[in-house]
Chains A and B, each alone.
Chain A
């Protein structure tokens, strides 16, 4: 029972490079979310999606893009990586009830 799977687990980027963080879930959840967690801080919402083809901005969307072409996948794109994007990124999914979110193991990203 895989749940929410994130790849890669770790990545080091140079300033200005781009990359895509992958997230896939096998629970047939409609709702999916991307968060970032900085040291000593709570999780901050970057983008979320209520279903395939529908995405919306969260609290900290600048510097990121998302797409949702299928129910299962919700990739997060960094176009021009900056040191401020060094963080741990978590993907989550939830049922229509929305309140309980299930998280992936995270991607630790360093931008140098």
Chain B
């Protein structure tokens, strides 16, 4: 039973345009959500996070939106750059407990 789902295995976007990566979860007790970015042959690196008491968090070109009623979060990257091409993992935790990861979305930014 997947508690965190990333339904799009891959996404292709033109350089300069917006990339939107989506994530759905089923556990209503999750209170903290994170996005990780992973390049080939490297470990995941933390990108941005959001607490369940907020509905938006912004960091430069990256913005995460949380819709608790829909149990949905999304990551917006504006503008997208070729260096953003990577696998993006959504993760969630309950009261600072263990992280549960989605399967990841491969983002390709074309120049």
Judge whether B4 is part of the interface by a CB distance below 8 angstroms.
Answer: yes
Instruction: Say which residue of A33, A58, A98, A100 sits within 8 Å of B46 (CB atoms).
Output: A100
A48→B98 contact, CB < 8 A:
yes
**How many positions in chain B have a CB within 8 Å of any CB in the partner chain?**
23
Q: List 7 A-B contacts (CB under 8 A).
A: A4-B43, A42-B102, A44-B101, A45-B98, A90-B43, A100-B46, A101-B46
A99→B98 contact, CB < 8 A:
no
Judge whether A64 is part of the interface by a CB distance below 8 angstroms.
Answer: no
Main secondary structure of the interface of B (DSSP, over half): loop
Judge whether A19 is part of the interface by a CB distance below 8 angstroms.
Answer: no
Q: Which residues of B contact A (CB under 8 A)?
A: 4, 6, 9, 32, 34, 36, 41-46, 49, 89, 93, 96-99, 101-104
Q: Give the chain A neighbours of B89 by CB distance below 8 A.
A: 42-43
A33, A58, A101, A104: most-surrounded residue (chain B CB, <10 A)? A101
Number of A-B contacts (CB under 8 A): 53
Main secondary structure of the interface of A (DSSP, over half): strand
Closest to A97 in B: B96
1/0 contact trace for A43-72 toward B, CB 8 Å? 111001000000000100000000000000
B96→A43 contact, CB < 8 A:
no
